[in-house]
Structure 1
Amino acid sequence: MFRSLRVRNYRLYAAGQVVSNTGTWMQRVAQDWLVLDLAHGSGTALGITTGLQFLPMLLFGLWGGVIADRYPKRRILLVTQVSMGLLALVLGVLSMTGSAQVWHVYLLAFGLGVATVVDNPARQSFVVEMVDKRDLPNAIALNSATFNGARLLGPAVAGVLIALIGTGPVFLVNAASFGAVLFSLYAMRSAELHDVAPVKRAKGQLREGLRYVRGRRDLMLVLILVGFLAMFGMNFNTTVALIAKEVFHTDASAFGLASSMLALGALSGALLAARRVARPRLRLLVAMGVVFGALEVATGLMPTYWSFLALLVPTGIAMMTITTAANATMQLGVSPEMRGRVMALYMLVFLGTNPVGAPAIGWLAEHFGARTSLVLGGLVSILAALAVGAVAARGRTGESRALARLRRPRPAGG
């Protein structure tokens, strides 16, 4: 299950990610709570904040992949991690001095999104430079496990800190946590990295990446499924916060607990994937998409806070099984020189759809109730999974018929 950790460089990287991701999840909870406080509980304001954080991915995400293919990825990550730390520091100072306004949070969330545009494809495609291709699915799953382990710890710690001393110190803790990633990148042994030669600067590299993916039917179906699930089904930053506050009337610590329960399921799903996922198939993604959607609908209908918490765990397991398998499918099936651009497109679909989905989900919650937003997201996820499964099955049937025609013996004679 942990075979990738035998590699020293990856072990350093994973340790740094645990610290940094914990700080990042602490900030996400604090940011959501700060916006709800400044905007007097507005679901629309919360959705706008989330949307602005992911808007740069929608606008510029593909260019991040071009940068990842052109330049050394470790150097890119050093720059992006420093930038993210500085943004967290500014938000912490504004919050602690009582100067923070909603538009400040909007602006800094957008800035964080700009840094993420460059960081995500470089970080995703850097994994294969630390481990060999055989261990790549395991490393991807362990990345998800460290991310969700931090997601489990971070919100719980943030909820307690917000209740005791406010949101400002949480942002400062996150700013300091980026030091762990910077140290891990600096301490790596360059000779042990499987460097991919940077692609030389040339015209049309962005279009080249798009043509490459468009010509791969298997990759296109994964992107379509992930896009619908991410846009409508995985807006938990918005929906969990609103249900915790507006439906069950809980405080910041209870909201943190709800986020942690979702993360507990996601962590369990990532560890299961690390053990079992080798070369995932599309049918697994389709099946888990249906399961995920059904669990999300059931979660939104839970009558009590504790039953709501209980359903978040299997929902998180299904969500992480899908995302880990989709990520591994994209990375294992592409040429090394295209990996940055392909992963940028994947992250564009996975994260860049939030500027559309998050405000829409927030608006639905504000006008029709927080439960409606969660139930509708689950229903859309089910329909999307079934549609992709039907298209894939039709394609397999067509291929089988074509092969049968080729193998059919031709009649003798002229």
Structure 2
Amino acid sequence: MLRSLPADFWRLWSVGLIVTTVRWMETVVMGVVVYKQTGSALAVASITMLRLLPMALFGAFLGAFAERFDRRLTLAGVIGVLAITSIALAIAARLGELEVWQLALASLVNGFGWVTDNPVRRVLMGESVGRERMASAVAFDVGGLNASRMVGPTVGGLLLVGVGIDGTFVMNAAMYLAAIALALAVRTRMPATPGAGAVLARTLEGFAIVFADRRLAATMVVTVIYNVLGWPFISMIPVIGRDQHGLGPEGIGILTSVDGVGAFFGALALAFWLTQRWHAPVYVGSVAAYQVGVIAFALAPEPTTAGLALLLTGLAGAGFATLQATIVYLAAPTEMRSRVLGVLSVCIGTGPIGFVWLGWLADQIGAPTATAVTGLIGLAALAATRPMWRTI
């Protein structure tokens, strides 16, 4: 399987690995710094939430807009903007003028970069490997992205202690430059579809396709449940790690990485053994298992138990992430994949609702209780929507 995947796949895979590693480094570093300055769980959740806000507001439009340009050059250009952002933060930190609002603005800018992943990098990836190998390709891609969750948080915590926040952002910028070089080396080309006036019409066509296809609609509903009531718990890892388990930046980084360990091995298992008949059961079952892991993490009495719970969320998250993109890619009409994946980005972008909710609730009743309650609500929402997702 590995040998059958083309060189362009591995270039795009490497781009995703690098960019996501930086994203996880920043998640831990920003979370620790913001919580230290503000003491507010809501502030930490809000910083993470801002990375998702562009998906909700502009995901569908950018999916249609991306069709007007060379995907390879678009990918390289977006990463270039992220590199400039990291350089600006490094300078501000070096001068001792780094403020929470600057980190918030950087998170928002990085969120716009994240929006392009599905309609640009993933579509290019699908074009390079073909429909038949898409599920395995996405599983390997998810494995790589989750390997970054093993490395990124740990490295971020260690760099924060060792070289400070300015040195961390310098390292981020250097990694982004390597990703730009890889993106420019991609040989797969996709013809542009010019016409600025047609962007809104194409966006609406993407939504129409989703509403008309029961499989796509159900997939989007499950995606919303995961992103509103499941995934936002990651913003509470620094808070719970520090307040409940007494961990420092290194310990919080290592604890966060455990989720990536589970996701990495889960994705590899899916890449080698998943067949199409198991797509729907693994997709929905993974979301249910993820919610159970969230609850277990919130109620864990000590770091080891918390780590085991994060191992479960990692395994389950790999199943969700792999099948989410695969089901949508295979179900969408070929000529509308960027648009439909743009709609998927909108559903992923509902996450800010969950981050704000969880941060607010944590300030009211404490992070562990708030996280457990939100996990229970997620399980209830999944059960309530069973008539829909049975059609996937």
> Fold-level match, TM-score > 0.5?
yes
Cα distance in structure 2, aligned partners of 1:119 and 1:135? 19
Deviation, structure 1 residue 150: 1.3
Residue 49 of structure 2 is aligned to residue 55 of structure 1? no
Moved more, 271-280 or 126-135: 271-280
Equivalent positions of 1:92-107 (< 5 A) are 92-107=90-105
After superposition, the C-alpha distances for 1:44-70 in whole angstroms (9 at most, x for unaligned) are: 111221222222221111111012222
Cα distance in structure 1, aligned partners of 2:307 and 2:55? 31
Aligned to 2:34: 35
Moved more, 303-312 or 195-204: 195-204
Give the residue type in structure 2 aligned to 1:2: L
Equivalent positions of 1:40-189 (< 5 A) are 41-189=39-187
Cα distance in structure 1, aligned partners of 2:389 and 2:181? 45
Aligned to 1:10: 9
What is the aligned residue count? 388
Structure 2: stretches of 5+ with no match in the other structure: none
Residue 267 of structure 2 is aligned to residue 247 of structure 1? no
Residue 291 of structure 2 is aligned to residue 256 of structure 1? no
Cα distance in structure 1, aligned partners of 2:243 and 2:331? 44
Deviation, structure 1 residue 212: 0.9
Q: So what's the TM-score if we normalise by structure 1?
A: 0.89
After superposition, the C-alpha distances for 1:281-317 in whole angstroms (9 at most, x for unaligned) are: 3333222222222222122211111111122112210
- In structure 2, the CA distance between the partners of 1:3 and 1:335, relative to structure 1 (3 Å rule), is farther
Equivalent positions of 1:178-257 (< 5 A) are 178-189=176-187, 193=188, 195-201=189-195, 202=198, 204-257=201-254
Cα distance in structure 1, aligned partners of 2:376 and 2:234? 18
The alignment yields a C-alpha RMSD, in angstroms, of 1.9
Cα distance in structure 2, aligned partners of 1:148 and 1:130? 22
3-state SS of paired residue (2:385): helix
Residue 359 of structure 2 is aligned to residue 362 of structure 1? yes
Instruction: Please say if residues 233 and 294 of structure 2, whose CA atoms lie closer than 8 Å, have aligned partners that are also in contact.
Output: no
Deviation, structure 1 residue 236: 3.5
Instruction: Please say if residues 57 and 113 of structure 1, whose CA atoms lie closer than 8 Å, have aligned partners that are also in contact.
Output: yes
Instruction: Please say if residues 145 and 267 of structure 1, whose CA atoms lie closer than 8 Å, have aligned partners that are also in contact.
Output: yes
3-state SS of paired residue (1:235): helix
Instruction: Please say if residues 295 and 315 of structure 1, whose CA atoms lie closer than 8 Å, have aligned partners that are also in contact.
Output: yes
Cα distance in structure 2, aligned partners of 1:71 and 1:51? 28
Deviation, structure 1 residue 272: 1.4
Cα distance in structure 1, aligned partners of 2:229 and 2:330? 27
Moved more, 204-213 or 67-76: 67-76
Aligned to 2:342: 344
Cα distance in structure 1, aligned partners of 2:362 and 2:98? 25
Instruction: Please say if residues 297 and 310 of structure 2, whose CA atoms lie closer than 8 Å, have aligned partners that are also in contact.
Output: yes
Moved more, 113-122 or 53-62: 113-122
- In structure 2, the CA distance between the partners of 1:216 and 1:147, relative to structure 1 (3 Å rule), is same
Structure 1: stretches of 5+ with no match in the other structure: 397-414
2:281 pairs with 277, 280, 283, which one? 283
Residue 350 of structure 2 is aligned to residue 353 of structure 1? yes
Aligned to 1:266: 263
- In structure 2, the CA distance between the partners of 1:187 and 1:286, relative to structure 1 (3 Å rule), is closer
User: Which aligned segments of 4 or more residues in structure 1 are displaced greater than 6 angstroms?
Assistant: none
Aligned to 1:408: none
Cα distance in structure 2, aligned partners of 1:109 and 1:22? 15
